[in-house]
Amino acid sequence: MTCRFLHVLALVLICVAPALGQDSGYVPGGASGWDPEWQQIPGPACLTMRGAWEGRSTTCTPEDHANWLADVTHWRNERRIRIGYDDSRYDLPVLKWTQSSFMQPQMMVQDRFFYDPVAHRYTVDRYADDTVKRYGGIDAVLIWPTYPNMGIDNRNQHDMIRCMPGGIAGVRQMVADFHRRGIRVLFPMMMWDQGTRDPGKSWPSAIATLMAEIGADGINGDTQDGVPRAFVEASERVGHPLAFEPEGGPPDEAVTYNVLTWGQFKFPFDPRVDRYKWLEPRHMVNISDRWNRDKTNDLQFAFFNGIGWESWENIWGIWNGITPRDSEATRRVATIERGIAPFLVSMDWEPFFPMLDFGVFASRWPLGEETVWTIINRNEYNITGPQMELPVEQGMHYFDLYHGLELTPEQRGDKAILIFSLSAKDYGAVLATKSPLTETRKELMRKMQTLTATPLASLSDRRTILNQQMVEAAATKPPAGTPAGMVKIPEGDFLFKVHGIEIEGFDDIGVDVQYPWEDSPRRYHEHVVHVKSYWIDKYPVTNAEFKKFLDVTHYQPTDDLNFLRDWQNGTYPEGWGDKPVTWVSLEDARAYAAWAGKRLPREWEWQYAAEGTDGRLYPWGNEWDASAVPVPDKGRTMRGPDAVSAHPKGASPYGVMDLVGNVWQWTDEFLDEHTRAGILRGGSYYKPQGSIWYFPQAYKLTEHGKLLLMAASMDRSAALGFRCAQDAQ
């Protein structure tokens, strides 16, 4: 049995070894010693420092570099044959912009620099100017209107775009405003969005049609390891070719039609070559590393590869801002890359060009008779002295582009030695040319000389935590006597214990909200609140009650998109009078409350009325009771909420009804410099299926939902209503 097994194993190894050899010259433990690791290709094995227990480090020889370069070049050539490589999409004029799109933030539509809900207008210039001021500006923007809010009702990913302020016309003008600034615009697509409203056509067709309608330039494939060719073909059928950018590493053949990719990198000391950039040097990768607080690795690996960075700071409403040091490094990297962009698509790119100092890595980018090197110092110390050794060439001039200086080589025999400085964890760039400097290059040199006058090391690398403010609610006049339809809650000390149910962020500082007694936003909250006596509505506000408000006040919001969306001809559907009113924004709810002489409840008031004083998990006790709440709707269409009086078993200790499981309810609003959010309580009956990424439910009284706020048109929802409170004597 053992002999037969070994014989079979030997045959397998004999068969497999040539197959490996056909695709590359990789030999485990050999001189070149590399193997593609998903999206990254390691350099020569000699570049990796090894301890004595690992066989010790070896010194790189010219042969090591030559063998490695020949091997990876052979691999590239063979891979292109194997995948039937076709570079026609890279030649399309409409997609040329991707090849120099180095800086691309993911921008939440709820970012307050992007939209002003008071003036009811997009503020594209304010957003773009802020990126210029802080880190040198952007080349494209990925506008994100969907997750984490999507799934609060059955609006699908495209409905979320249509619900943005101004509808399709407003979005189209906003995209045009970015184009006026020379900034390309992408939107995301979520193929996991199969639980909300069916678009009624194939997703490739739906996406292509909508993007053509609003004039967008590209699509980011959220969670996708390659965007299928069907989406490319659909965009071309409608005469609006799109640049597709999958989040994950696609199959190699997808590089022929996905002209962009996110870079999900690992960051060892010696950099890695991006697999897709190596297969097609015109392919643009934007490294995405949103949670890391130090962006040095991202920027150095990007500069080494001649690619870009996803300058993502507003992460689902959690601010992870770029530090002053990283901001300045981004400005310098972007300035150099934009200035040498034609070099960075060279098919003759040579990664790991031999440098003279350990820990210094360079890529060589030849273009015609000129060459540029992009250089990074991975060491934690400064390096001065000889850096590069090149053959002597008559008439060749060398320029330190990074510091804006001309270099005078020191000749040693037939070698020209370039001497310049590299600060710790810093960057370098060298140009070799026989031509006089153009005015454009002179301007680049002047700009870089000014920028690098300040050492990066002198700038702070500390992250700024944005403090939040809770929007105050004006006190109300106490009622005379017992107000109809309200329950009085007694004064007392209440242990307010709650946590946010955000899908991402774990317990990082900045997640969820910051109450007045806290010094920073965080997910978990516990505090004894002294609550003065107040009145709270026994039931959520119903359609019939809201109609009385409209009949008296003739209220009409300025931003009326989606206002009372399920009403027709000024009234609610037949039989819906006792159902909670929905499709009302926070502003709409406050307007009703003010008319009624009331206000929205503070979150701890809502919870106190629901929980009482015994710390129960649900209004009726500590065990879930499905009969106390509406039957969940798990379909792609919403049937509408139940009547507010339909589930008497859901009563709280104080007799407050319909607190959990019918419709979410507005309470407090929080804001920081970049984001607004509304705290929702109680959960709803609607539970779209098929994905973990939909807005999660918060049925327990120790949980709350956080809805990112942009504008009334976006914030209104079919599963979101409210109840009112009023101060007592």
- The pLDDT tens digits of the residues spanning 419-474 come to 999 999 999 999 999 999 999 999 999 999 999 999 999 999 999 999 999 999 99
CA atoms lying within 13 Å on the CB side of residue 105: 26
Could you tell me which residues come within 8 angstroms of residue 164 by beta carbon, excluding any fewer than 6 positions away? 109, 145, 170, 171, 174, 710, 711, 713, 714
The β-bridge relationship of strands 720-721 and 664-671 is parallel
Q: Do 100 and 75 belong to one domain?
A: no
Q: Do 31 and 117 belong to one domain?
A: no
Last residue of a domain, one of 28, 61, 82: 82
CATH at 165: 3.20.20
Q: Do 634 and 654 belong to one domain?
A: yes
The tally of domains found in the chain comes to 3
Last residue of a domain, one of 235, 270, 288: 288
Q: Do 617 and 539 belong to one domain?
A: yes
**DSSP label at residue 573:** P
For every residue of 205-242, DSSP letters joined together read HHHHHHHHHHT--EEEEET-SS--HHHHHHHHHTT---
Residue 300 has which token pair?
A: 């150095």
Residue 149 has which token pair?
A: 């809010």
- Per the domain annotation, does 399 fall within a domain? no
SS3 80: helix
6 pLDDT higher than 50: no
Strand partners, 220: 188, 245
Tell me the average pLDDT across 97-106.
98
28 pLDDT higher than 60: no
Tell me the average pLDDT across 671-685.
98
* Closest by CA position to 263, among listed 316, 304, 307: 307
Last residue of a domain, one of 288, 306, 321: 288
Domain of residue 17, residue span = 2-36+52-82
What is the pLDDT, as a whole number, of residue 8? 37
- The pLDDT tens digits of the residues spanning 307-331 come to 999 999 999 999 999 999 999 999 9
Give the span between the Cα atoms of 524 and 302, in whole angstroms. 36
- Per the domain annotation, does 365 fall within a domain? no
Q: Do 58 and 179 belong to one domain?
A: no
SS3 386: strand
Give the span between the Cα atoms of 514 and 229, in whole angstroms. 45
Q: Do 558 and 633 belong to one domain?
A: yes
> Could you identify the residue written with the tokens 């004039």?
215
234 pLDDT higher than 50: yes
Q: Do 152 and 103 belong to one domain?
A: yes
Q: What are phi and psi of 607, to 5 degrees?
A: -70, -40
The β-bridge relationship of strands 218-222 and 184-190 is parallel
| Cβ proximity of 231 and 208 under 8 Å | yes
Q: Do 17 and 116 belong to one domain?
A: no
**Residue 301 one-letter amino acid:** F
Tell me the average pLDDT across 267-291.
97
What is the pLDDT, as a whole number, of residue 48? 86
Q: Do 537 and 620 belong to one domain?
A: yes
Give the span between the Cα atoms of 39 and 250, in whole angstroms. 9
* Closest by CA position to 467, among listed 427, 506, 423, 517: 517
Q: Do 64 and 108 belong to one domain?
A: no
Radius of gyration of the chain (CA): 30
- The pLDDT tens digits of the residues spanning 566-580 come to 999 999 999 999 999
Tell me the average pLDDT across 51-65.
87
- Per the domain annotation, does 570 fall within a domain? yes
Give the span between the Cα atoms of 571 and 95, in whole angstroms. 49
Q: Do 144 and 263 belong to one domain?
A: yes
Strand partners, 367: 370
- The pLDDT tens digits of the residues spanning 39-56 come to 999 999 998 888 888 878
- Per the domain annotation, does 105 fall within a domain? yes
- Per the domain annotation, does 283 fall within a domain? yes
25 pLDDT higher than 80: no
Give the span between the Cα atoms of 363 and 369, in whole angstroms. 17
Q: Do 655 and 556 belong to one domain?
A: yes
- Per the domain annotation, does 374 fall within a domain? no
Give the span between the Cα atoms of 619 and 609, in whole angstroms. 9
Tell me the average pLDDT across 375-388.
97
